[in-house]
């Protein structure tokens, strides 16, 4: 029996994708998650998952942070990104950061089944004609991913709020923790990212945000 995890914060899309998958896979169990936190929890609770179908824009995911975090913590678990974007730069980064497939949300259900079967067999899958258009990741992109992978989800939340311009007191209120905890997180963020200022933190966070 195959076991998939659909990680997307839109219930209607999860329902539609579940229906499409059930039409093409006769013996299938599907788990669901609606944030990066619940995605990680589901992966930990279901060690026999065969595939994660991951949306980039979920709460806690921070666009590229989601794929970086999951690939760092669960390197043997295949991940396919399902996204509304078909931007070549987005696809290049997603594949460069370890996804085994990129499936646009406009893909027909039969082609989604083909993509999943290809990935389950150990091969990468991209829409037809897309593979030869991919951009190679720069050394800067690779270095950024390696540094960001060191951040815990809690630290990444703080980084996102720093990017939004919040003060330590405001971040503490937002996350319902003490200001001392936020200061400790920021110290750890600076150390792990190899930076020494909030401005540098904001600039790095900007590079993980996808416009498409």
pLDDT digits (tens, 9 = 90+) for 44-55: 999 999 999 999
**Residue 10: pLDDT over 90:** yes
- 130-173, pLDDT tens digit by residue? 888 988 888 988 898 899 999 998 999 999 899 889 999 999 99
Report whether pLDDT(61) > 80: no
What is the per-residue pLDDT for 209? 66
Q: Mean pLDDT lowest for which of 7-16, 65-74, 85-94?
A: 85-94
CA dihedral (146, 32, 37, 70) in degrees, to 10, reads -10
Topology given in CATH for the domain delimited by 150-207: Arc Repressor Mutant, subunit A (1.10.10)
Does the domain spanning 2-133 belong to CATH 3.40.50.300?
no
Q: Where are the chain's structural domains?
A: 2-133, 150-207
């Amino acid at each position: 029996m195959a076991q998939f995890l659909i990680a997307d914060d839109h219930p209607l899309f999860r329902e539609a994708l579940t229906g499409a998958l059930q039409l093409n896979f006769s013996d299938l169990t599907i788990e669901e998650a609606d944030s990066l936190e619940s995605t990680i929890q589901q992966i930990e609770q279901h060690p026999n998952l065969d595939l994660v179908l991951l949306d980039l824009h979920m709460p806690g995911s921070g666009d590229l942070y989601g794929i970086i975090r999951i690939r760092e913590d669960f390197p043997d678990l295949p991940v396919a990104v399902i996204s509304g974007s078909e931007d070549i730069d987005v696809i290049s980064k997603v594949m460069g950061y370890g996804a085994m497939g990129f499936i646009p949300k406009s893909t027909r259900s039969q082609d989604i089944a083909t993509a999943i079967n290809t990935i389950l067999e150990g091969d990468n899958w991209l829409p037809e004609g897309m593979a030869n258009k991919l951009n190679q990741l720069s050394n800067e992109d690779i270095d950024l991913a390696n540094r960001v992978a060191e951040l815990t989800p809690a630290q990444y939340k703080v980084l996102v709020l720093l990017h939004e311009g919040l003060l330590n007191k405001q971040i503490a209120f937002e996350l319902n923790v003490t200001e001392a905890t936020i200061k400790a997180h920021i110290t750890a963020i600076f150390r792990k990212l190899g930076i020494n200022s909030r401005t540098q933190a904001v600039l790095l966070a900007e590079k993980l945000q996808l416009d498409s």
